Chains A and B, each alone.
Chain A
Amino acid sequence: MEMANVSRRSFMKGAGLAGLAAAAGGVSLSSLYGCSPTEGDGGADAPAPVEQVIWTHCAPNCGGACPLQCHVVDGEIAYIESDNVSEGGLGGLQARACLRGRSMRRWLNSPDRVMYPMKRVGKRGAGEFERITWDEAIQTVADKLKYTIDTYGNEAVYSAYASGVCAGAVISTHTKLINLMGGCLGYYGDYSTAQITRAMPFTYGPSNGFTASALIEAKNSDLLILFGNSPSDTRMGGGNMTHVMAEIRESIYAKGGKIVNVDYRLNETSSGYPEEWLPIRSGTDAALVSAIAYVLISEDLVNKEFLDEYCVGYDADTMPEGAPANSSYKDYIMGTGYDMTPKTPEWAAPITQIPAEKITELAHDLANAKAAFICQGWGPQRHSNGENTSRAIVMLALLTGNIGLPGTNTGCREPMNGGPVGSFPSVPNPVTTKISCFHMIEAIDHGPEMTALRDGVQGKDKLDVGIKFVWNYAGNFFNQHSDTNHTHEVLQDETKCEFILCVDTVMSASAKYADILLPDTMRSEMMSLTTGGYGEWDFGITFGQKVVEPKFEVMSAYEFNAAVAEKLGVGEAFTEGKTYEEWNQYLYEQAAAADPSLPTWEEGIAMGVYRWKHESSVGLAAYREDPAANPLDTPSGKIEIYSSALAEIANTWELEEDEVITPIPVFDPGFDSYVDATDEFPLVCAGFHYKSRTHSSFGFMDILKESCRQQIWINPADAEPRGIATGDICSVKSAQGEIRIEAKVTPRIIPGVVGIPQGAWYDADPFGDKIDHGGCINTLATKRPSPLAKGNPQHTNLVQVAKA
């Protein structure tokens, strides 16, 4: 790895002081100045409180893992600083935590903490529990796991997708325990990326499905087009991308370039730059792309040489064998194939609600760009037509040859940066059967009815058994899965899923469905080594130490899992003789052995945080450089605009009439789109990431909820006829359910679409009126999966909004 702009040795010296004092349990310099936790404490005669500075990190799934520098007085965190030791400034290395990380002590000290091991005593979902001992908890979980495996087989066991604890070298260790016991039903996809993850390998091949340039590479472009991609909303902390976006903007504008932010709402990435915003009707990105393609093709502005050499399926010159006549992408766009409709800007205008001349202008900007950086977030793909949309967006890069070169991108989202420290090694899952992550509730409800061709079961033609045992570590699937009313109906039936284990730090909506509920430790209550977040491009390691003593009767998940493993006779195989702390040190020393420039374990602990620059990268640069030497692992070895594999799936899978899978990326509105709007449900409703939460993590914290209110965004054109003003409580209804939520009447959203920040905590009586006063968008969302990925179309909703 390369060091740039910072001398590690000198950096280490500077960073060492505060950390050394902390590691030695000593007094840091700031304590001399009496930085007391609350104002007005202690008179002039009171002794200055002893203050320690101890590092930990943020852990939920934003991509960040920002370092937190805790100032500890009398065994409690008085306040938090973040990274103020690395090189600062835009383009520097300081990973400054966002508002959520800065509020972490309120989570640690929240009255919502799960304090003791508990077992359910009321109905499932009622949230009635009784305190038990750890011994009883360990025995019960071991017995239930063994019983489930003995009675139903390993495919009846399921480890729920969860991301509440995302950062840390030693997390989610229970999967190793389960695998040692014979494994469990697996899953593919996740709630964030289901459609794009499934779709892109058909274009770029399995190895390159996520291939993209580092976002910072956009500095070298003169045209940045973001589709549903707002780093300032989704990648907020300094250990993330928001500052990278500012750096990019300053670079692009300095050379007279342009930024286009395609979104249904004026998101925070274009705060202060509203001219960047290209408002679009939610879910219609592929129509915009198609119309841009029409302009490029009809005005002979495509890079035909690139398309011929690197791609298949653009036009008749490169169609794969067996493809029907007139089935190329060009045929689709020009109206000579597929739906026989020319995709003119005038065709797209009423669909996207973007004026035709704007579309033409954007096509010309793209054609004239020296280096266009096309990227998409995970908003456009999280729709009922998301697979096609994600493949369509990359067409702008392909049609113009803006790929594999400096300042360009593949059309996908920025790649994830692994970092040098590995994670707790599991063992292979002996069970190879998988379902879509979004089918967990369905597999509980009617697993044996689920098939490969209808439901996307992988590894088997059909499931033989439903899910009977759910292990939910740091997850809030009840809240984050679509159609919460349906989820409740399935989970409350104890004959379906017979046992649910939840391990968490706070009483979430999902925790209320636990049969056994266990209190997990916070990162600040234990040592926690983590590499920098996956959503940044620099590298970082935080050597988190135990900041405060564990509260109540919490136990680390590792310790609990090891105890269950012991009961089940796989204790030694699980721990391999190492404690949690020893695993952290072992994993770090493996990394340090591979890269001697890393500090020693002891040096790292003294430093607290260690960060260094990572070079930018260009997606598919090697393929562009020499396609013969570096073929893709698609069937053709090339970029597949036309995918025969998708054509085969379209021909063999059981699909409903409104479920479209196509070999070329077309615009199809998908089910439950604006086309299906009715008088009862006339408004399109999409979700978005919100500053007060990482998905549902932090969603219980008043300090964040009051500073960043949970509100439905609605344009004045939709609010006024309904008599709705900002601050009014609204009833929002879909075919699935009803929520109550405060209105934000704002021109920052396109008319006809309303937006609800995703991740708010469900707050309803599921046994009573089921009205969700928490404003959880998933109470409104459909459980119906997208056609190819069988993923969650949680941005595709039709609703009505009324003043409550």
Chain B
Amino acid sequence: MAQYGFYFDSARCTGCKTCVLACKDRHDLGVDRAYRQVYDYEGGSWTAGADGSFTQNVFMYHLSMACNHCTDPACVTNCPAGAMQKDEETGIVWTDHEVCIACGTCDSVCPYGAPVLDSEAGYMTKCDMCKDRVAEGKAPICVESCPLFALEFGLVEELAAAHPEAVGAIAPMPADSPTGPCVLIRKAPAAKDAGDVDGFVGNEPEIV
């Protein structure tokens, strides 16, 4: 089975959210749903000097993340209705809206918060890696939108070969990755290891 995945370059990302809004435009999402999120991860502190000057060790970087189309996806394993599917040809994890019962199990078991309820339609939704576009030989819309060329898409082994320095996770992703997320990340100099607790997500209200 082929497995497609995303590559994300946190050393280039400026947190502009073009990926998020391009996805919202393509998939006609409103304010309450996003299939891709940009996390601002930041931390550090300030010290005042006797002369009124400051020293600081502030850090900040971004993480753009959608569904990671895991090799062992918890959403698929735990879906009671069989709505969450892993495509055998591509490894893409997608939702069969016809059979989804909107119980939200997928959302609660996903370590990355990828599934989101479409309350109007009454089913769960998530990034399907723009599988229609992929079938046409195109890249997912987010990948093609990035003004910094910080997102790539392709077969996981090819992405890994092209980016040998890439890691599998950075903060604020969890340290453990039992579901096998198919994402590769180039670390920005400021990037903290997955599971880091020194920083915080600075744009929490913007994560939907």
Contact = CB atoms under 8 A, between A and B. Distances in A.
Interface in B25-56: 25-28, 30-31, 34, 42-46, 48-49, 51-56
Interface stretch (B73-81, B83-91, B145-153, B159-167): B145-153
Interface in B1-37: 10-18, 20-22, 24-28, 30-31, 34
Interface in A70-111: 79-82, 84, 88-90, 96-100, 102-103, 105-106
Contacts of A45: none
B147 A236 contact: yes
B204 A243 contact: no
Interface stretch (A172-180, A407-415, A418-426, A698-706): A698-706
Interface stretch (A273-281, A394-402, A503-511, A625-633): A273-281
Interface stretch (B101-109, B171-179, B184-192): B184-192
Nearest to A233: B14
Given A268-B15, A355-B49, A707-B34, A40 B62 contact: no
B60 A274 contact: yes
Nearest to B22: A102
Contacts of B188: 271-273
Interface string A260-295: 000000101101111101010000000000000000
Given A80-B25, A102-B145, A272 B53 contact: no
A34 B58 CA distance: 48
A417 interface: no
A708 interface: yes
A704 B144 contact: no
B18 A102 contact: yes
Main SS at interface, chain B: loop
Contact of A703 (B24, B45, B60): B24
B106 to A, nearest CB: 17
B206 interface: yes
B121 interface: yes
A8 interface: no
Given A274-B44, A349-B51, A355-B55, A82 B145 contact: yes
Given A277-B58, A354-B53, A717-B46, A40 B144 contact: no
Contacts of B202: 726, 744, 746, 748
B16 A242 contact: yes
Interface in A498-518: none
B21 A102 contact: yes
Interface residues of B, number: 62
B147 A243 contact: yes
B206 A708 contact: yes
A353 interface: yes
A57 B137 CA distance: 26
A356 B60 CA distance: 25
Nearest to A231: B14
Contacts of A103: 21, 24-25
B208 interface: yes
B148 to A, nearest CB: 5
B63 to A, nearest CB: 10
Contacts of B22: 80, 99, 102
Given A271-B60, A274-B60, A747-B42, A349 B13 contact: no
A243 B145 CA distance: 13
Interface in A658-708: 691, 702-704, 706-708
B61 to A, nearest CB: 4
A268 to B, nearest CB: 4
Interface string A235-271: 0111010110010000000000000000000101101
Contacts of A799: none
Interface string B110-133: 000000000001000100000011
Nearest to B55: A355
A37 interface: yes
A96 B208 contact: no
Interface string A209-249: 00000000000000000000000100011101011001000
A273 B149 CA distance: 18
What interface size band does chain A fall in? 35 or more
A385 B149 CA distance: 38
A30, A103, A243, A274 interface centre (most CB from chain B within 10 Å) = A274
Contacts of A704: 21
B144 A275 contact: no
Given A708-B17, A746-B42, A274 B52 contact: no
Given A349-B52, A350-B52, A81 B21 contact: no
Contacts of A80: 22, 25
A782 B15 CA distance: 32
B102 to A, nearest CB: 14
- With most chain B CB atoms within 10 A of its CB, the pick from A38, A98, A702 is A98
B183 to A, nearest CB: 17
B189 A272 contact: yes
A750 B47 CA distance: 11
Contacts of B136: 30, 33
A238 B147 contact: yes
A727 interface: yes
A803 interface: no
A162 interface: no
A272 B10 contact: yes
B17 A707 contact: yes
Contact of B46 (A96, A237, A242, A751): A751
Contact of A242 (B26, B31, B54, B148): B148
A747 B81 CA distance: 45
B135 interface: yes
Nearest to B37: A707
B141 interface: yes
A752 to B, nearest CB: 9
A64 B10 CA distance: 24
Contact of B132 (A35, A237, A750): A35
Contacts of B133: 35
Contacts of A727: 204-205
B62 A79 contact: no
B58 A99 contact: no
A445 B108 CA distance: 61
Contact of A39 (B28, B141, B144, B191): B28
A741 B19 CA distance: 26
Contact of B54 (A33, A34, A105, A750): A750
A243 B149 contact: yes
Nearest to B199: A747
Interface string A539-581: 0000000000000000000000000000000000000000000
Contacts of B13: 271-272
A748 B48 contact: no
Contact of B190 (A35, A97, A273): A273
Nearest to B30: A703
Interface in A6-44: 30, 33-35, 37-40
B97 A105 contact: no
A272 B61 contact: yes
B24 to A, nearest CB: 6
A193 to B, nearest CB: 23
Contact of A272 (B11, B54, B208): B11
A589 interface: no
Contacts of B14: 232, 236, 242, 268-269, 271
A236 B46 CA distance: 29
A355 B45 CA distance: 16
A751 B55 CA distance: 11
B52 A353 contact: yes
Given A88-B149, A99-B16, A703-B21, 13 more contacts: A34-B132, A38-B28, A39-B125, A82-B145, A99-B21, A266-B60, A272-B188, A275-B190, A277-B58, A353-B52, A727-B204, A746-B42, A751-B54
27 contacts: A34-B132, A80-B25, A82-B145, A88-B149, A90-B12, A96-B146, A97-B147, A98-B147, A102-B145, A240-B147, A242-B14, A242-B16, A246-B148, A266-B60, A271-B62, A271-B188, A272-B11, A279-B54, A354-B54, A355-B55, A742-B205, A746-B42, A748-B42, A748-B60, A750-B46, A750-B54, A751-B46
